């Protein structure tokens, strides 16, 4: 299985929110408070998401008070095929 070039930083955002708010956040609590299903949250935290749904991203950004770029990160993967630039 190839690693994905787009990774999410959800676990980091959860840890930062725990620190800011001084409370432990279970995945169930995050899912309920963000308004997403526990299975979707688990897929995100396990890097198993293959398609990023805009509604889910909006809910996560609202919950964590962040921008999509704070949640997603591009990480080039040497195993992925390179795209060729068109000739001029």
In sequence order, the β-bridge partners of residue 73 are 7
Give the integer Cα–Cα distance in Å for 44 and 35. Answer: 14
- Residue 88 in this model has a pLDDT that exceeds 80: no
Please count the other Cβ atoms lying within 10 Å of the Cβ belonging to residue 17: 17
Q: What is the pLDDT of residue 1?
A: 43
Tens of pLDDT, residue by residue over 14-61, are: 999 999 999 999 999 999 999 999 999 999 999 998 899 999 999 999
- Residue 6 in this model has a pLDDT that exceeds 50: yes
Q: What is the pLDDT of residue 35?
A: 98
What domains can be seen in the chain, in order of their start residue? 6-73 (1.10.260.40)
For the residues of 12-68, what is the DSSP string, one character each?
A: HHHHHHHHHHTS---HHHHHHHHT--HHHHHHHHTT--SS--HHHHHHHHHHHT--H
């Amino acid at each position: 299985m190839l690693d994905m070039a787009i990774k999410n930083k959800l676990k980091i955002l959860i840890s930062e929110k725990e620190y800011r708010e001084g409370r432990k956040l279970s995945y169930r609590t995050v899912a309920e408070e963000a308004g997403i299903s526990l299975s979707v949250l688990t897929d995100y935290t396990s890097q198993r998401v293959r398609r990023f749904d805009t509604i889910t991203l909006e809910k996560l950004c609202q919950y964590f008070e962040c921008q999509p770029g704070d949640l997603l990160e591009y990480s080039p993967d040497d195993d992925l095929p390179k795209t060729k630039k068109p000739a001029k």
